[in-house]
Amino acid sequence: MAIEITESTLATVGIVTVRRALPRRQRRMVGAWCFADHLGPADATPTHGLDVGPHPHCGLQTVTWLTQGEVLHHDSLGTEQLIAPGQLNLMTAGREVSHSEEATGSYAGPVEGIQLWMAQPSATRDGDPAFEHHAALPVLALDGGHATVLVGALGGTQSPARIDSPIVGAELLLTGPARVPVDPAFEHGLVVLSGSVEIEGETLAPGHLGHLEPGGNELVLEPDGPARVMLLGGVPFPEPIVMWWNYVIRSRAEATAAHRAWLADDGRFGTVGSALDRITVDLPPWA
Ligand code: MN
């Protein structure tokens, strides 16, 4: 099996530098996964954390997973939820939601993690927004470590989190060679958060996405010392999508309509109980 490696791009979100593994021009999606930001480590204080002010989403689910630190999530559903390493925040936007990611008021120290988006299929993307917090997730033992299953199933170990399409997301913590059972109908992407791993004769380190086409029923990973790797997989997403800013939609007109509503603060996206400023960008160039 051949592995395709793409370089992540550096970007800034709030006050934090991120390595953006998805989307890249050469690799837009992996299954329904359409966005992957490895963020930090950033230095948080009780009053300054990620400092991502209220902003809107349509047509996607956000997966927040931390490896260090704590973050406070607020959204337009009225949710206020602290998240710590090993826990999952899963927000479903459906037709619209808005949220912020903030300092906790007490935590000081490094914050590091990954923020992922799953594109919602047409069957659910116009549905209601929702939020789930999972304080603990199932773990699959591997020969060289273990996998925590955030969404979907891996080797028969099933996450309780909502998914809207055939997908898997797991964190692999490896100290030795591991054979990871996977669904042969899924394509896969690997994002290394720390350490490095060899796979299919290539070395993956932070700042890369390694992509594997469907067809295999296991991935063989050889870490060079302790490694933390996100495994993203899914059936290649069957619908063409449009991504603009924080919206996963199907047309430019839909992006324009959503963004006019956000800029006008006309109530469509609700309100977030946050002291941070709402995030705005200009209308898209075609509007
Ligand atoms: Mn967001």
Residue 222 lies in a domain: yes
Residue 259 lies in a domain: no
Question: What's the gap in Å between 44 CA and the centre of ligand 1?
Answer: 18
pLDDT of residue 9: 97
Residue 287 lies in a domain: no
Residue 227 lies in a domain: yes
Give residue-wise pLDDT tens across range 94-123.
999 999 999 999 999 999 999 999 999 999
What average pLDDT does the structure give for the chain? 97
Question: What's the gap in Å between 246 CA and the centre of ligand 1?
Answer: 7
Question: What's the gap in Å between 129 CA and the centre of ligand 1?
Answer: 13
Give residue-wise pLDDT tens across range 149-189.
999 999 999 999 999 999 999 999 999 999 999 999 999 99
- Residue 16's pLDDT band, with cuts at 50, 70 and 90, is confident
Tell me what percent of the chain is helix, strand and coil, each rounded to the nearest 5. Answer: 5, 50, 40
Question: What's the gap in Å between 92 CA and the centre of ligand 1?
Answer: 11
d(CA 272, CA 126): 21
Question: What's the gap in Å between 183 CA and the centre of ligand 1?
Answer: 29
Query: What domain range includes position 54?
Result: 11-234
As a three-state string, the secondary structure of 110-158 is EEEEEEEEEECCHHHHCCCCEEEEECCCCEEEECCEEEEEEECEECCEE
Whichever domain contains 34, its CATH number is 2.60.120.10
Neighbours of 135 (CB within 10 A): 9
Instruction: Give yes or no for residue 130 having a pLDDT over 90.
Output: yes
Question: What's the gap in Å between 120 CA and the centre of ligand 1?
Answer: 15
Q: In a 3-state reduction of DSSP, which class is residue 213? A: coil
Give residue-wise pLDDT tens across range 217-242.
999 999 999 999 999 999 999 999 99
Query: When comparing pLDDT for 10 and 15, which is higher?
Result: 10
Would you state the structure tokens that stand for residue 267, as one six-digit string? 């109530």
Q: What Å distances lie between residue 2 and 16, 42, 60, 199, 285, CA to CA?
A: 33, 34, 29, 9, 38
Instruction: Give yes or no for residue 15 having a pLDDT over 80.
Output: no
Residue 253 lies in a domain: no
Residue 162 lies in a domain: yes
Residue 247 lies in a domain: no
d(CA 47, CA 59): 31
Question: What's the gap in Å between 56 CA and the centre of ligand 1?
Answer: 7
Residue 110 lies in a domain: yes
Indicate the number of domains in the chain: 1
Q: Which of 146, 182, 161, 143 is nearest to 61 (CA)?
A: 161
Looking at the DSSP assignment, which residues form a beta bridge with residue 119? 60
